[in-house]
Structure 1
Amino acid sequence: MDYQFDFSFLAEYWPELLRGLWLTIKMSVITIALGFAVGTLFAIGRSSQRSWLRRLCAIYVEVIRNTPLLIQMFLIYFGLASLGLKLGADFCAILAIVINISAYTCEIMRAGIESIRKGQLEAANCLGLSRLQTLAMIVLPPATERVYPALTSQFILIMLTTSVVSQISAEELTSIATRIDSITFRSFEIYLVVAILYILLAATVRIFFWLLGRLAFPRLRRLGTPL
């Protein structure tokens, strides 16, 4: 093998890589927060006593989960543009990821909600708590605690999923790496560095949610439940 490894060229492109990394982090934070919020709302809808609402949420989940994220992103970015509604690449990327990931978060949170014993709901009703109070104080906290490890894995997946937004020219880390590769033709070096950055970022996200879980859910801390 005559290939000569050379990482020295990266010194020139570090500012661009860091800019792409920062956009990846921002996208991850926004999509995690919005994806969890929207997914939780759909999970509540899927657990509703209203049959029409359950069916509507179920249709949303099945449609999103059975189509590729890339196709959804193309529909939002290129499809809406062809209809005359032109939106920025970053906005479309975030919107597509939130729509996609909320469907998966919905199913995770629904499992947590359905694990709550009916006796707890009956007790809340006897205490005169409203539906909103029951959800906020009786249902969602323990439901989130029970599925928190699965949510953590899903959140890390969201962060890694941002790499596909390079397909619509959103300049996150992978997009920047591809552009640098097209200039330098040092594919192995640039993508190796990017892979290491993603590993470090994923480890950071996991540690953050591990600490958050220990603070938010004391029972997990006492039981030593792995996240």
Structure 2
Amino acid sequence: MNLNLDFAAILERWPVFLDGALLTLELAFIATVLGALIGALGAIGRRSSHPLIARICGIYVESIRNTPLLVQIFLVYFGLASLGMKFSAFTVAAAALTINVGAYTTEIMRAGFDSIPRGQIEAAEGLALSRPQIYWHVVLWPAIEKVYPALTSQFVLLMLASSVTSQISAEELTAVANYVQSDTYRAFETYILVAIAYVFLSLIMRAGFWLLGLVLFPRRRRLGTPL
């Protein structure tokens, strides 16, 4: 059996692939920023002394972590449509990815919060720091520093998972690949190039997070701790 690979027709459509790759990065950026914010607030909520707030945050996290991303995307897409709220596929995809990664970020951040020694918080209270100051300087920022590698890995996984949004016609990289292979009848070659593209996108994101870590956490840089 001979395998005859022909990438010419695929490479001719490189502008379309570039647009898809940029949209994938745009989705990942929006979901990362908003998901990080939701994760921080959710982690604070899960550790709240108010049982109702802690329970609501817990239900959100467990509901998202125990259902497939594709089902969540369909729920957001068709749920909003059934309420008469019309949004573009890109907006729905960004919202669904944000909701998804927010739940996973919540658990990662909560692990970071739990790693902060109680004595450190008591020392901050002894210095008469306000509660917001304690959360920012003693709890939140050191917690983010400790779980930063896990957070960045989760955000890279989010970018890869964005391929599922092609099911609602979000024109990201996988959706573009589906269109190209149906037009050229070169499915194997198309998905080889897309796989390589995802590897490059992952490397770009990891490099970006590494540089960001150097700026945000100079102490880790001085100590040589992996970011």
Structure 1 equivalent of residue 27 of structure 2: 27
Name the % identity. 56
* Structure 2 Cα separation of the partners of residues 122 and 28 of structure 1: 38
Map 1:101-140 onto structure 2 (within 5 A): 101-140=101-140
Task: Quote how far apart the aligned CAs of 1:129 are.
Answer: 1.9
Deviation (angstroms), 1:10: 2.3
- 1:152 counterpart residue number: 152
- RMSD value, Cα: 1.3
Q: Deviations for 1:64-99, whole angstroms, at most 9, x for unmatched residues?
A: 111111101001112221232222111110100110
Equivalent in the alignment of 2:224 = 224
Deviation at 1:127, TM superposition (A): 2.3
Assess if the C-alpha contact under 8 Å between 1:47 and 1:114 holds in 2.
no
What is aligned with 2:162? 162
1:205 aligned to 2:212?
Answer: no
Once the 2 structures are TM-superposed, how far is the Cα of residue 157 of structure 1 from its aligned partner?
0.5
Q: Could you tell me which amino acid in structure 2 is paired with residue 17 of structure 1?
A: F
Unaligned runs of at least 5 residues, structure 2: none
1:223: how far off? 3.1
Q: How does the TM-score come out when normalised to structure 2? A: 0.96
SS at match of 2:208: helix
Distance (Å, rounded) in 1 between the aligned partners of 2:52 and 2:195: 45
CA shift, 1:144, in A, is: 0.5
Query: Is the counterpart of residue 59 in structure 1 residue 59 in structure 2?
Result: yes
Q: Corresponding residue for 1:89? A: 89
Q: Is the 8 A contact 2:181 2:190 kept in 1?
A: yes
* Number of the residue aligned with 1:17: 17
Q: Which runs of 4+ in 1 moved over 4 A?
A: none
Deviation string 1:132-164 (CA, Å, 9 cap, x unpaired) is 111111111110111111111101111111111
Q: Which residue in 1 is equivalent to 2:188? A: 188
Between 63-72 and 75-84, the greater mean CA deviation after superposition: 75-84
Task: Structure 1 unaligned segments of length 5 or more: list them.
Answer: none
Q: Distance in 2 between the 1:174 and 1:81 partners?
A: 24
Paired AA for residue 145 in structure 1 = E
Matched, 1:49 2:49: yes
Query: 1:173 maps to what in 2?
Result: 173
Q: Which amino acid aligns with 1:69?
A: L
Aligned AA (1:47): R
Contact 1:20-1:176 at 8 Å conserved across structures: yes
Question: What CA distance in whole angstroms lies between the structure 2 residues aligned with 1:11 and 1:69?
Answer: 31
Q: Choose 20-29 or 5-14, whichever is displaced more.
A: 5-14
1:143, 1:83 → 2: CA distance?
39
- The match for 1:75 is 75
Are residue 5 (structure 1) and residue 29 (structure 2) matched? no
| Structure 2 Cα separation of the partners of residues 167 and 161 of structure 1 | 12
